[in-house]
Each structure stands twice: as structure tokens, then as C-alpha cells.
With several copies, the nearest count.
Chain A
């Protein structure tokens, strides 16, 4: 779950990590009010869950409340990468002496968190040379010890005896606390600004592990999905729309991808990616078919290799949907694995002969799509 910048900064503040003065507003009038409270030039930042906000013109500056109001007015009318701007963050404009980069994320191949830092922060961090990027893996049993933070600061070229170094060490320790205590997948500050004696997080990017949301009741909830995606997600389905004309449903991300690859191999074009995961019941199957049919496919392939998913459950659900709702396009079903005989018997009752092999089912689905 991605958090809006203003939420990330609120979270930072509760961990003692310095952020600019300011707050989020939902109207131009409020923006003017906050700018007046701040009493100095401000920055007005659109709050959308997209990384390209700056380049898209989603960040504006103003010298006074009037200007802040006008800037906010402009932003509230905008759409950035398809996302409407409903919230803006009004903050003091920082004096920027230097921009650093700091983040902690998970390195799957090392199986541990990795702290990434650079003295060359700012918008184009991805373009910075490897030699200026400092990476330090963190042993989860050892945790973030002072010496680790200190060494990273040293490698950033900040003299350890400086005030900045002392502040940065605190920032790194706080950031790691947020990362572990809040089940984050990513905490990122870019830029982390040196401003006079101070070190201030001028941005905040925080992503919480979706699997751990249940144990983070204090965090705000951010809905990233469209209504359709959310409905699918709630039923344990993973759904992505594609450009083709063959509806696809399979169980497991790998086999779903394999099914797409196979359809493509035979010259077909998938209309969607739909991974029904392990064990989807009747409601899930009905919803899955509804999502697939909404793409107006010419044929549908259902590819089930039962493991934790049981073939009879899938067959029963499918048969029920077919009987009660009806399916207006030809459906090819491949069904093997756990309880396959029971499943095939159920399908036979609704007039469907299941395939043994994916390639045969896929070839048939492609043929059917061409015929229609």
C-alpha cells in the first residue's frame, strides 16, 4: 500500500524525523490559510501516487497566500498520469543547500533490507552513477546499529564531526525504525535536504507491505485500486486488462503467464491476465467470469492445474455460473490435478469435455476466437 506524501511525512514526524512545516489541504482557500500560517514562501505539492509528479508540473511555488491559492486552484484541476489531484500539501519553501538521497527497501536476492544513500539526491537519482550510490544491507537480527548509520554518513562524504552528520545518523535510525515497526517495503526520502544546520525530509515515499496491513491498525488506509480491481482483489483474484480477444482464467501467476505465452505462441491474443489463485469458490469464479466477459472476448480459456485448488470446486462453481447466469461465448476448459475425476464428471453434466493438456486447450481457444 503506497502512502501519500503528506501521510508519509506525518508518519516521519511521529518518529522524530524532521519534515517541513505545513499540512495537506483540500481546497484553494485552505491552501491560502496554511500559507498565511507559515508566513513565508511556500511550495504547493499535488498528492498523487505517482513518481513523475514533478516533471508533470504537479509542484508549484508561491510567495504569499494569494499565490498559494492560485497555485492550488491550478493543481486541483489537474490529472497526473491518470490520477486526479484531490489533495495538495502546502509547506514552507526550504532553503536548499544540498540534496541527498536516502531509502530503505527489501533486497529479495539478499533476503534482507538494504539501506541506499547518495550525496547526489534529487529528481534524477536513477541516473546517478553507481559509484555515488551507497548500498548497505542490514542484518535483521543485528538491526540498525549506530556504527552502520555512521559508516553510511561517512561514505556520503559528510564529516562525522559535523552537526549534519549527527542529524543524519538520527534520520537513518528513525527511518529504519519506521521501516521495521510499520512493516514497510519501502521508505524513501528524495530529496533529503541540508538546509543551514538542519537536515529535513523534503519528500516522503512510504509503501507498506499489503500482507501486513492487518497488524498496522494505526496507519491510514489508502485505496490504490480501481473499483473493478478492488472487487477482484477482495475475492483473491489478480486481474489485469490486456488488448486481445481471448479471455483467460488460470490458477497461479506462473501458469496464467504460461497460458498467455501459449496463446501468443499459437497466434492468439489474450484479452486479460486473471490469476484466480488457490481455492476460489463459486462467488470468485462468477466474478472472474464477469470480469473476463466485460472485455468482450471471442472465446475463453480456463486453465486449472489443481494443487491447493481442487478441480471439483472449480467445476462446481463453473457449472453453477453457467446454469444460473449463462456464458455467451465458447469456453475451453483444461482441468487436471487434485480431484480431477470428480471435477470432470461435474463439467460433463453441463456439457463440457475438459482437456488434458494446456497446449491443446490453448490451440482450441485460439481457433474459436478466429471463428467467431
Chain B
């Protein structure tokens, strides 16, 4: 098991012949991803790394069963590419592209909601179901199978933390990058719900950052979760970000600060690491607890003492 994608997921790469598309197609194939088709109007009819290339998604769908798409199309064409994949009935669409106009992102996300599909990103490193399928751009060597689900807002920081987990022999069920933009498809809550349902996932790592209120919303759901959650929030010592005039202030009303987020998460029963590499040791404790005490739902969040901080 894993969430969203697995070893049977048939993947299409939109924009397979571009610089990024080509490089990461090789990397994904090397990781074991089942890439069954790619799109590129200039290379249609050829194969790239053994993958047949089509004019567009529709043409590929006429020849293959496709479950998921990963998009490497430049920003100006990314909305069209995502809508194309969604309209073709593809239910998992990973948009790696960054710098997509936010109005385009709102359109993509609204349409995905309507057709009942999951969009990961935009501006995401992608998703890895460790040892089974990788869609996106993370380096292959750090993702190994195991019991920890990871969901993150930022890319490199996730590699950092996943790398640390792997170095401590803690593998991952699935690692999901939500994407760094203001409007993205799957949110923390969407991903946490899936981890909660996934029998292979025993604990969850949430990697957030200051600004916005995604972590506060996650905290609301974490209250209901039976699985332990360890969080790290970047930006404790970072300069405050820019605000969106009065309107932004009205929407956020005091949310978005480091301390507010930590408070919300801890109140919900999550443990918050103060530096990235502390995540591994917290997870270790959590999983040891599991073995020693025959883990019961909710047990962890009732513990009064904080772990080695």
C-alpha cells in the first residue's frame, strides 16, 4: 500500500521532450515509475527513452490506459496542459511547473474539484510512493520504503528531512509535496486523510512553514487522527513575509505566525520539531512507543512530557 500512486500507476509525462521533462523522465524511469506515454507536439510519433510520444494527452489515451500525469510544461501553457489531462479523465495530475499565474491555478483547482480528480501542486516537487513510483523531481536515492507518510509545503526541505529519515533507516510510505504556491490542489488535510486510511502508514511527518493558514487547518484535522504526527515548521528565525494589504489581514486575522502554528499543532496532539533533523528522532520515539506499548489511537497526544527538547 501507499497513497495516491503505486507500482501499478500508469504515468504520462506532459512535456517529455523539454529539458526538465527529459531529464526527469530518465530519473523517474530509473526509480521504477511506469511511464507509458509522453506528449510533445514536436516529437510526436517518436519514442524517448523507450516511451512513446504523442501529440497530446487525448492521443495518448487512445492508445494507453493512463492513471496519472506529471506536467513539465512551461508556465504559460501549464493551465491548458492540466485541464487537458483532467478533461481526458486522468484522476491524478502532478503539476511540477512553477510561476503559474494564480488565476490559472484557481481555474485548474476548481475544474479538478468538479471532475473529482486530485491535483498535486502546482510548483511541487511531486510525489513519491517509496520504492514503487515517483512522479516529479526529487532525487531518487533518498526515498526508501517504510512506515512514515510525509507531506510538505516546500521541496528541498522535504528532501532534507526525508534524507535524514532514510539515513536513520526510517523509510517512507509516500512523500507528497503540496506545492509552494498560494493556491494548490491537495492540501495538508487531504493528504493526512489519505495517510490516516493507509494501513502501511504508521506515523506522519508534516513539513510546514510560516505564512498562510494551511498548518492551522491541518491541526483541526489532526485532532481527529489516530496516527501520530510529527511536524517541522520552517521560518522560526526568518523575516516576516509580505502581506496582502488590508484584505490579506482580514482573511488571516492573526494566523500565519510561527508561534500560532506551533500552538495549534501541539494543541491537536502533534509533536513539533524545532530543527529539521529532530524529526527523525521524534519519529523514532513515536515508533518505539508503538512497539513497547502496543500503540493505541490517541495515546500519544495524552502524554504530558515533551520529548528530548
Contacts and interface: CB of A to CB of B under 8 A. Distances in A.
Given A116-B250, A253-B154, A265-B274, A106 B106 contact: yes
B118 interface: no
Contacts of B104: 212
B239 A273 contact: yes
Nearest to A336: B163
Given A142-B87, A147-B84, A254 B244 contact: no
B27 to A, nearest CB: 8
B114 interface: yes
B147 interface: no
Nearest to B182: A108
B50 interface: no
B156 interface: yes
A250 B102 contact: no
Contacts, number: 234
Nearest to B102: A209
A324 interface: no
A307 B101 contact: no
A168 to B, nearest CB: 14
A280 interface: no
B237 A307 contact: no
Interface size of A as a range: 35 or more
Interface in B247-299: 247-251, 253, 274-277
Candidate in B58, B160, B213, B214 with the most chain A CB atoms within 10 angstroms: B160
Contact of A105 (B84, B110, B251): B251
Given A109-B217, A212-B101, A215-B101, A261 B125 contact: no
A261 B80 contact: no
Contacts of A207: 244-245
A305 B143 CA distance: 14
B158 A254 contact: yes
A211 interface: yes
B101 to A, nearest CB: 4
Contacts of A205: 245-246
B111 interface: yes
Contacts of B160: 255, 258, 305, 358
A125 B246 contact: yes
A133 interface: yes
Q: Could you say which of B57, B155, B234, B238 has the most chain A C-beta atoms within 10 Å of its C-beta?
A: B238
Interface string A242-275: 1000000011111111101111110000100100
A283 B138 CA distance: 24
A108 B183 contact: yes
A257 B234 contact: yes
Contacts of B42: 161
Contacts of B187: 109
A105 B87 CA distance: 21
A334 B75 CA distance: 31
Contacts of B58: 147, 151, 154
A140 B106 CA distance: 7
Interface string A341-361: 000000000000000011100
Nearest to A262: B275
Interface in B87-142: 87, 96, 98-107, 109-111, 114, 125, 137-139, 142
A20 interface: no
A160 B125 CA distance: 30
A114 interface: yes
Contact of B110 (A126, A141, A150, A253): A141
A278 interface: yes
A18 interface: no
Contacts of B275: 258, 261-262, 265, 359
Interface in A106-124: 106-109, 111-114, 116
B276 A358 contact: yes
Contacts of A185: 102, 244
B139 A359 contact: no
A253 B180 contact: yes
Shortest beta-carbon contacts, A-B, top 6: A254-B154, A252-B156, A254-B157, A212-B101, A257-B234, A147-B84
